[in-house]
């Protein structure tokens, strides 16, 4: 398909100028972040098993999803064809590339959603609704989900050997500015499978971040932005690179339905059971750290962590994904240093409380040193070796 250069450049500009993320605010991507210094390199995991001692209070606390009710309400509205939630201030339409422009207005007097009168939209909506309902049905806690992740390899690889599915070595490349002085580009590219986050560009940074990309892991807001471009262009790493995203807004299923057909490489959505697991794990680490650091009661955690907007970062879920599909996981570009930029590819300075990078670093440290201390994951799952590069 012929494609003019302009949209491509604007997409790239979009991603370099702003890593635009969920919840309509600017937050940071990957694990780049405002974290503590991990202070060690290439830790070799400890082999002997320690008995995990999970704190029941924290487990119970982390199992509660503060966003559950509003999510349910949102899903119900959309399944009913009520798209009023899409109208953001004075914006009255939901835009896609080319002819896919849908005007979203309030329901008619008889309660029939006006937008559904267009046959084109109706067809789209039926598919959208099916995906949304499936997703919602599976949106529950399932500790064994880590062991199911390996099935993703069957979608990504063309010639699969069922008895030997996993990738031998994987690199998850966070977007922290610490990468800029690292010279690790060659090391990153030497991995069999390289995961990059939120379309952070590599051009111009190859020496430090490498240039190989096997999977582009994003949040759905990135695709939502791409959906306005011709043929949903969303491929800073090339059109053959598969994209996997987690859904941060239910309306983004529309973008998924619209964009899926124009993408040659797989466009995948994370298993909602995997989302729930990741959410619990990060909340556990965040709450645990909060109590230890502040001495305040757990009840005050939500107030200082954006409450129902609290979310794991893309980087955290990409690392968790790698655990399920790789035999060895190397983590690059996660962490902060006073001397380094927040992102290697942007000038973003501030962070929001929506992510708790410090808590996520605690998790990575456990993954490297004592994975059995990670809560909520079924005993059946065998963690691969994890190495953190700084």
Ligand X SMILES: *[C@@H]1O[C@H](CO)[C@@H](O)[C@H](O)[C@H]1NC(C)=O
- The residues binding ligand X (CB under 6 A) are 55, 57-58, 161, 163-164, 260-261, 291, 298
Q: Closest distance between ligand X and the C-beta of residue 374, in Å? A: 17
CA atoms within 13 A on the CB side of 20: 15
Shortest distance, position 159 Cβ to ligand X, whole Å: 8
String of b and e for 241-275 (b: at least 16 CB within 10 Å)? Answer: bbbbbbbbbbbbbbbbbbbbebbebebbbbbbbbb
With helix as H, strand as E and coil as C, how does 303-319 read?
A: HHCCHHHCCCCHHHHHH
Identify which of residues 87 and 265 has a Cβ nearer to ligand X in the complex.
265
Sequence-separated (6 or more) residues with CB below 8 Å from residue 15:
198, 199, 200, 201, 222, 236, 345
Taking the least distance from each CB to ligand X, the nearer of 352 and 373 is: 373
Alpha carbon distance 282, 311 (integer Å): 8
Cβ proximity to ligand X, 158 vs 163, nearer residue: 163
Distance CA 34, CA 204 (A): 24
Cβ-based nearer residue to ligand X, 99 or 159: 159
Are the C-beta atoms of 195 and 189 separated by less than 8 Å? no
Least separation in angstroms between CB 127 and ligand X: 7
Output the smallest distance, CB 312 to ligand X, in A: 20
Considering the complex, what minimum distance in angstroms separates the CB of residue 334 from ligand X? 26
Query: Based on CB atoms, which residue is closest to ligand X, 18 or 160?
Result: 160
Closest CA to 65 of 265, 365, 277, 367: 277
C-beta of 211 vs 260, nearer to ligand X: 260
Sign of CA dihedral 308, 313, 317, 319: negative
Could you tell me which residues are beta bridge partners of residue 91? 88
Q: How far is the CB of 231 from ligand X (least distance, A)?
A: 13
């Amino acid at each position: 398909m012929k494609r003019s250069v302009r949209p491509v450049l604007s997409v790239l500009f979009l991603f370099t100028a702003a890593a635009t993320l969920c919840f309509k605010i600017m937050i940071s991507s990957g694990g780049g972040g405002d974290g503590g210094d991990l202070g060690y390199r290439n830790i070799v995991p400890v082999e002997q098993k320690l008995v995990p001692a999970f704190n029941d209070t924290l487990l119970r606390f982390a199992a509660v999803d503060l966003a559950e009710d509003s999510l349910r309400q949102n899903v119900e509205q959309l399944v009913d064809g009520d798209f009023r939630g899409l109208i953001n201030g004075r914006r009255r339409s939901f835009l896609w590339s080319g002819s896919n422009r849908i005007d979203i207005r309030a329901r008619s007097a008889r309660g029939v959603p006006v937008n559904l009168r267009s046959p084109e939209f109706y067809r789209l909506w039926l598919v959208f609704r099916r995906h949304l309902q499936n997703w919602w049905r599976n949106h529950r806690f399932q500790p064994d989900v880590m062991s199911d992740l390996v099935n993703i390899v069957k979608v990504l690889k063309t010639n699969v050997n069922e008895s030997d599915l996993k990738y031998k070595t994987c690199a998850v490349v966070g977007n922290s500015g610490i990468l800029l002085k690292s010279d690790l580009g060659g090391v990153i590219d030497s991995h069999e499978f390289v995961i990059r986050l939120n379309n952070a560009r590599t051009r111009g940074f190859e020496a430090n971040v490498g240039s190989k990309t096997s999977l582009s892991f994003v949040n759905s807001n990135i695709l939502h932005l791409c959906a306005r471009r011709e043929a949903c262009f969303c491929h800073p790493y090339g059109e053959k690179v598969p994209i996997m995203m987690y859904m941060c807004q239910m309306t983004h299923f529309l973008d998924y339905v619209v964009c899926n057909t124009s993408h040659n490489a797989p466009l995948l959505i994370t298993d909602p059971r995997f989302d729930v697991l990741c959410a619990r794990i990060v909340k556990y680490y965040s709450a645990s750290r909060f109590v230890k650091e502040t001495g305040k009661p757990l009840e005050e955690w939500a107030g200082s962590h954006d409450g129902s907007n609290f979310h794991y970062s893309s980087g955290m879920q990409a690392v968790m994904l790698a655990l399920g599909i790789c035999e060895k996981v190397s983590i690059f570009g996660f962490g902060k240093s006073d001397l380094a930029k927040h992102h290697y590819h942007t000038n973003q300075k501030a962070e929001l409380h929506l992510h708790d990078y410090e808590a996520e670093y605690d998790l990575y440290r456990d993954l490297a040193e004592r994975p059995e201390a990670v809560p909520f994951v079924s005993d059946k799952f065998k963690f691969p070796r994890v190495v953190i590069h700084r």
